[in-house]
Amino acid sequence: MNPTEMPTDLEIARAATPRPIEDVAADMGVPSEFVEHFGRQVGKVSLGALDAMGPPRAKYILVTATNPTPLGEGKTTTAVGLAQGFKHIGRQSVVTLRQPSLGPTFGIKGGAAGGGYSQVIPMEEMNLHLTGDFHAVTAANNLLAALIDNHLYQGNQLSLRLHGITWRRVIDVNDRSLRDNVIGLGTATDGIPRETGWDITAASELMAILGLASSLRDLRERLGRTVIGYDRHRRPVTAEQIQGAGAMAVLLKDALAPNLLQTLEGTPALVHTGPFANIAHGNSSIVADYVGIRGGDYLITEAGFGADIGAEKFFNLKCRASGLEPDAAVVVTTVRAMKVHSGKYSIKAGRPLPAALLEENPDDVRAGAANLRHHIGIVRRHGVTPVVAINAFPSDHPSEHRVIAEVAEEEGVRWAIAEPYTRGGAGMTELAEAVEDAASDGSRFRLLYPDELSLHAKIETIATEVYGAAGVKFDSRAEKQLDRYEKLGWGNLPICMAKTQYSLSHDPSLLGEPKGWILPVREVQASVGAGFVLPLTGTIRRMPGLGAHPAAHSIDIDEDGNVVGLS
């Protein structure tokens, strides 16, 4: 189909005739009594369904990618399309996805329900409030922040150091002005003045806890051991000590249940927890995967951005916590991404693609192929069989697709052309067959590092063996933080690196497969409740900003109450 003839994503989504959500649940073996309805097309699956569904039976498939351009390479669209593609070859599948954050939805990137004829519906609900999980995380996070400041105001019995408080408030919009600020200004009854800041909700520790908790009990325990700061003796103070963990659990208990939606072709889609693998772990929830892996022949799940950050965290954080092992991984790439990684082109979000980028030039595709080879190597480093998905755009040329296929063949991996956007599941059957073949190889999954390795060594292992760095340079502040965390008994925690998504390195301008660079670690945060240590590299921030022309400028409501401009 000519893209100029295609309706918009929103028009396609509205034209679909969704199946009753209880029928979608029944396909997974979820009895209707375990589905709580949110309108006609969305449900929440209670965790009691796990016992009723029986043991895990699906092959576990990860969808990851090469380092993306600012426009993204269609990873969510490919994951949704693959789930539909399995249906076309007679297999029952489930896809688990992350819920879109309002920050990117009203920023530049737009929503994250897939695209074209490979979408999750209802598209508007998925991209906006859905069942309110993000609001529950925001409320619970900020309740704890209020309890901390009230504790200070009421006498500070725990002797919290003002400059030792690490818990920050969150909001799920891009707002750079909130990154660093002073609160408590005004009269003596307005609180204790102190410096603090805000992060985006999707990147908060509570969102990570929600995504990595395996049960309500596990959620409650993680909340209790969450560290909110340090006292005058530099000892950690927890949410349990501040008497906030119980109330937070109450606000989050319903949010722990994954949300059930469907694709345009009626395939079950479990949507749960937030994105941002560059500043968070960037994976959908463990409980969604526990449900999905019992619900079909294949469970497809997506990790954020490229294999260097999203897949690495899927392997070493999520799989470490869940105990599930992937059977294969799809590495999505595009002609335009390979051309950008040649270093000859630049894509700017919100601007038209460079005309030269759309011209036939297979040599430029091969010039950027080192990035694809590296991401294939990351997947293999974890013992997982990769399959390359060439996400086809109408502006591509067959000769350019052939170059990517040749690179895959040179690496000895399966590949397939994917056309999820224009053809839906019908355009994904070759990829589904390739993934089925790869998953039959047998899982040899392995973690990158053991728990007992030091925090320094874990960071260095990720930097050198996953990113390809020549080494790591720790700022003095980061060195002191790591030493303190080791002494506090947190040395066994895994690593959740905060790093740019656009490069294998910390520098978004270093494209392809850069060599000889050093990873700078400027600060290290301890997310004890989530169960990981978070190094901050380069200039990465945990609160994005808006561009000159954010999507919010174009989103509106018409006289009939319909949303317009949402993409």
The answer on pLDDT for 565 being more than 70 is: yes
Q: Is 544 within the bounds of a domain? A: no
- Give the span between the Cα atoms of 5 and 460, in whole angstroms: 50
Query: What's the length of the chain?
Result: 567
Higher pLDDT, 545 or 195: 195
The pLDDT score that the predictor gives to residue 109 is: 64
What confidence score (pLDDT) does residue 2 get?
55
pLDDT at 237: 98
Answer with the one of 202, 226, 254 that is the final residue of a domain. Answer: 254
As a whole number, the mean pLDDT across the chain is: 94
Residues of the chain with pLDDT > 70, as a percent, come to 99
Strands of 72-221, DSSP E: 93-97, 114-115, 118-121, 160-165, 169-171, 181-183, 194-196, 198-200
| 212 pLDDT above the threshold of 60 | yes
Under 8 Å between Cβ of 545 and 176: yes
136-158 pLDDT, tens digit per residue, is 999 999 999 999 999 999 999 99
Domain contains 560: no
126 lies in the same domain as 153: no
211 lies in some domain: yes
- Whether residue 543 lies inside any domain: the answer is no
Q: Quick one: average pLDDT of 453-469?
A: 98
pLDDT at 111 over 80: no
Residue 203 shares a structural domain with residue 270: no
Does the pLDDT of residue 5 top 80, yes or no? no
Q: Examine the pLDDT at 3 and tell me if it is beyond 60.
A: no
- Strands 518-527, 532-537: parallel, antiparallel or unpaired by DSSP? antiparallel
Q: Which amino acid is at 479?
A: E
pLDDT at res. 547: 82
Q: Are 162 and 127 in the same domain?
A: no
Q: Given this model, what pLDDT does residue 9 score?
A: 87
CA distance 371 to 566: 32
Indicate whether 240 and 200 sit together in one domain: yes
pLDDT, tens digit, 9 for 90 and up, residues 473-505: 999 999 999 999 999 999 999 999 999 999 999
User: Do 425 and 468 reside in the same domain of the chain?
Assistant: no
Of 196, 220, 254, the position where a domain reaches its end is: 254
Same domain as 274, residue 151: no
Residues 224 and 157 in one domain: yes
Nearest by Cα to 271 from 423, 119, 422: 119
Instruction: Classify residue 409: in a domain, yes or no.
Output: yes
Clarify whether residues 284 and 354 are in a common domain. Answer: yes
- Burial state string for 168-181 with b = 16 or more CB within 10 A and e = fewer than 16: bbbbbbbeeebeee
> Full-prediction pTM beyond 0.85?
yes
Condensed to tens digits (0 to 9), the pLDDT of residues 281-331 reads: 999 999 999 999 999 999 999 999 999 999 999 999 999 999 999 999 999
Residue 155's Cβ-count burial label (10 Å; 0-12, 13-18, 19+) is: exposed
Strands 181-183 and 328-333 come out as unpaired
CATH of the domain at 172: 3.30.1510.10
156 and 87 co-located in one domain: no
Any idea what the CATH number is for the domain that residue 502 is in? 3.10.410.10
Determine the structural domain holding residue 462 and report its residue range.
455-537
Q: Three-class SS string for 284-330?
A: CCHHHHHHHCCCCCEEEEEECCCHHHHHHHHHHHHHHHHCCCCCEEE
pLDDT over 90 at 40, yes or no: no
- Indicate if the pLDDT at residue 170 is higher than 90: yes
Q: Where are the alpha helices (DSSP H) in 156-266?
A: 205-212, 216-224, 245-252
pLDDT tens column, 501-559: 999 999 999 999 999 999 999 999 999 999 999 999 988 788 888 888 888 888 888 88
Angle subtended by helix axes 75-88 and 429-439, to nearest 10? 80
